[in-house]
Chain A
Amino acid sequence: MKNILRVGLATVLVILFSGCARHAAQPGALPDNFSLKSSAAAVLVDKDHTITVNDQQLQALAAQQQISSRQALVNILLQSSDKKLQPDPAFNKVRQLVSSGETEVFYAYADVLSRYLTSETFACREPSYYRYFNARYHREDHDYRCAGDIPFNVVSQHGAKVRWLNPKRVSEIHLLFAGKGKGLMSKFGHVSLRLIVCPEHNVDQEVCDQNLYQHIVLGYRAHVDDFTIDAMKGVFGDYRAYLYANEFMDIYREYAIEEFREVYSLPLKLNQGQREELLRGLSEISWSYAGDYKFFTSNCSTLLQLALRSLWPEFSKNLQMNTLYWRPDNFFAALRTSELSDFNALEDLSAAEKKGFYFSSTEPIYNKALRVVAAAMQDPQFKTLDEYVNQNPVERYENALQDALYYQHLKQDVYLHGAQVLLEEFSVLQFQARTRSEMSNFFDKNKIADIERHMLSVLGRDEFNAFSACILKPVKAAVQPHKTTVGIPERAEIAANKESVFLCDSKENAVYLKKIGLELENIDPVSWKPIKKFMLSAMVGMHNVEQFLTLAPSKDEVVE
């Protein structure tokens, strides 16, 4: 209920303040010695909209003002009254797609155009703007070819890690649709893109399809951006949207196991060139974009459609896709029946599940495991998965061992043993999910900046490093993707930002983390209590899994 109210309030506030411009980072005033006349000669757009830059004049101006050539160019562009050097609606569309939209549009135009005109890496670093300027200024695509791997900042359970994807290894891109969830916010499903990443040196499609552990999911998701360090903090707590990259198996766990949702993976009809262009564009968005997330107008579905319209010409031309579907399920349904996707992939769900186009909810499987286990026990203390999970996990394990007949069956019956392990694993996953949920509440409630300040004051240097590496950084990574100043970063930039690896689960560092845990508890004991309990339940559950695994019967002993 609280969440619903928050969403409602935020939506109302977004509407009320929708006219308010953000003036977060305006450029400085022009220098006194700026000459309009000489500057006009440095950048020219002819009748054919062809743009040219007079390098000599530009450098002279830069030298005169003792600024860089690019800054001089920005100044020139800002002062230009030539409409052809000012932003147009198409620019705004691209800008909405790949930026945070925080700077004033005229400055943004001058800034990006200056890079377009001066930077050699612009084409591959900012491909969306590159396409836009080429189109506007009628420039030919002279030897424009971006080779090399494309980076994505993949957020997983253990924090964020940059993965460099060779586009040749992405054999397909699917629209991933998670069906209706039980929550209010997921009643229309959720859409994202799934990159079918092949193993190294093997692009056989079947092998690529099976390489699920390396598949990546790109999707627009939102979070109350309460703890960024700069001034992005919304007055009333805007919801910010980013294009996140996640590991497919994390997404599968979230939807099919934790939320019992159906997941459909619809192959998009893209050739190799289209795929590469789309990938590069998505990478640019994932590194650069930050926008408002509004449940009805700017959500995972609409933002993805806008991105596809911009990055995939066939999509933008498709009549069915002329409509902007705000409901993810409607978008999925429309795309499914369009020529843009392989409709046949989802014709037969049983076959689709075998081929990796459909991932059924695990609810029936866990319920079956529950029935199998309950039937084998003398006196099962549960009737539903809910009841199973909410048992004291220590007692649950003890009960299983004390049931002599059940224990005997467990050691002999592979199927029963599998069911038992499965239920314990389910319990672990549930408590991990509950922990994450409570963690989210904890950081929302206590504000990450306040927590950081408190920890800085009470922890020693090593302890704070551990806190930073194991908690602060993953939390920040999860809340806001890693961002560069502009476009797709290069290897050198990411390598420079790379921090030393801290082994958060190592025994050596456990002592620091124990202290950290106690200090976090001191901040808000009430909110920390369920986190501790859920963590402990997950840990005991994991221990139960380990113990049950030691009872595994040999499959050879099974009597048919």
Chain B
Amino acid sequence: MTYKKPSAYIFTTLILFLTCTNLYAESVLRIVCHGSNASALIYVNGKASGSCPMDLFVPAGRIELKAVKVVDSDHERVFENSFSLEDDSAKKIKVQLSNPQLTAAAQKRRTAEKQKKEQALAADALTRARKGDINAMHAVSQYYRQGQGLEISEPKALYWENQAQQAQLSRDLSRAAMATLKAAEAGDTKAMAEMSLLYTQGKGVKQDSGQAKAWADKKTAVITAKNQLLVRQLLISALSGDIDSMTRLSTIYKEGATGVIQSDEKSAEWADKKAQAIKVKEQRYVRQLLALAESGDIDAMTRLSTIYKEGAAGVIQSDEKSLEWERKISIVSEKKQQFERAKQELNDISYVNSLGAMEENGLFDNPLATTITLPLAAVADLMSTPFNLTNHIVLQREVNAQAADWEAPESMIAKAYQQKYVKGTSALPGAR
């Protein structure tokens, strides 16, 4: 065995010595403290035993070791350890003091101070709670439940909690009543009814039958005025032909309303007027459709066909007329298709001639180029149904004089045209 350090040699020797000699039946305890832990006071089983570091003999058994080093008046650093020692044993304990902590006395003092503060808070809260402070009531309830400043008491905690809820409800009702009052004062008839109820029940306001009646009366007056205004407005629009207004008037008079006396007679009168107006409107609608259809509007024709098929819009049901419009639809559709074809066909018509070039094509005032006209039907493979040939012939006859008639009405050409076709009977109906 080789010992590298002399102290280890000595400690080993001492242990051997003590063991071999067997002078005392005690154990050896070596307590070491390094650095800031040095100088700590050592208590073994509650008995001050000196300051650290130190070696001491202690009886075998349970050992309560405590090392204390005072930091200031209220704080100390402490190390505690508990262990058992057998007879004739040796133990080394390394003291590692805690961070500074309150001393027991300081702790006691401080606890007393806290309790005093809590009691003051609770007393203040109790005072305020008794005065109706809802937050204080909640706090008192809490203090009682936790024994904070007050002696712990669940019944008292529940009492104050209940008090707080009731106070909150009361406050909410009052606020709601104020909002309702504001709306009622602004003319809201529902708010007026609400106010009347609140005053009757005393909810949110102080119960007041007088106020309750006043608000109920005011509500009736306002609704009466509104209804009467509505009726006047409906009358104006109904008289101008508005069918919805007639319907509403009929309903209002049938059911009656605040400020409007129920009248079956007036209700029937407006129902009749409504029926007549609908009839007129339908007739106008049908007339408009007819005009549009006559001008070639396929949508109008389709509607007319449906109307006649169903007998709708005031017309007498007629399958015959419905079919007639269907036939016209097919004709007009064909016409539109033909015009579309014509449009394609005529995409380029400018390549052959321009104005004034006519003459060059006819030699010496060629009479053929002056007078011959190809019958329209000779190109009927391009266009067949769309043309009203009779109208074309009439237009053709009149067309020569139109320029003069438009810009030089005093010219002889214009006068001759006027005499023959306008004052006479040959002009196209409705033309010019």
Contacts and interface: CB of A to CB of B under 8 A. Distances in A.
Q: Do A and B come from one complex?
A: yes
Given A223-B368, A365-B408, A385-B355, A532 B379 contact: yes
A538 to B, nearest CB: 8
Interface residues of B, number: 72
A210 B358 contact: no
Interface centre among B383, B387, B399, B415 (most CB of A within 10 A): B399
Given A514-B377, A516-B378, A552 B430 contact: yes
A216 interface: no
Interface string A510-523: 10111011101000
Contacts of A421: 402, 432
A393 interface: yes
Nearest to B407: A365
A539 B387 contact: yes
B72 interface: no
Nearest to B296: A547
Nearest to A555: B432
Interface centre among B352, B377, B407 (most CB of A within 10 A): B377
A264 interface: no
Interface stretch (B29-37, B55-63, B142-150, B341-349): B341-349
Interface string B359-386: 1111111111111111111111111101
Given A222-B363, A434-B352, A517-B381, A535 B376 contact: yes
Contacts of B408: 353, 360, 365
B400 A252 contact: yes
A115 to B, nearest CB: 30
A223 B366 contact: yes
Nearest to A442: B374
A330 interface: no
A536 B350 CA distance: 13
Interface stretch (B207-215, B307-315, B390-398): B390-398
B367 A479 contact: yes
B403 interface: yes
Interface stretch (A85-93, A182-190, A451-459): A182-190
B60 to A, nearest CB: 120
Contacts of B355: 260, 385-386, 389, 430
Interface centre among B356, B368, B431 (most CB of A within 10 A): B368
A256 B155 CA distance: 121
Contacts of A362: 403-404
B375 A513 contact: yes
A359 B403 CA distance: 12
A425 interface: yes
Interface size, A (range): 35 or more
B428 interface: yes
A280 to B, nearest CB: 23
A252 B343 CA distance: 31
Contacts of B71: none
Contacts of A213: 416, 420
B345 A533 contact: yes
Interface in A224-281: 224, 239, 242, 244, 246, 249-254, 257-260
B419 interface: yes
B365 A422 contact: no
B389 interface: yes
B382 A536 contact: yes
Given A221-B366, A253-B400, 18 more contacts: A158-B373, A182-B359, A186-B365, A223-B363, A239-B363, A251-B370, A365-B407, A393-B342, A434-B353, A435-B373, A437-B361, A439-B369, A439-B374, A513-B380, A514-B378, A536-B382, A549-B428, A552-B430
Interface of A: 3, 6-7, 155-158, 181-186, 190, 209-213, 219, 221-224, 239, 242, 244, 246, 249-254, 257-260, 293, 295, 299-300, 353-356, 359-360, 362, 365-366, 368-369, 385-386, 389-390, 392-395, 418-419, 421-422, 425-426, 428-430, 432-441, 443, 470-471, 474-475, 478-479, 504-507, 509-510, 512-514, 516-518, 520, 530-537, 539-540, 542-543, 545-546, 549-550, 552
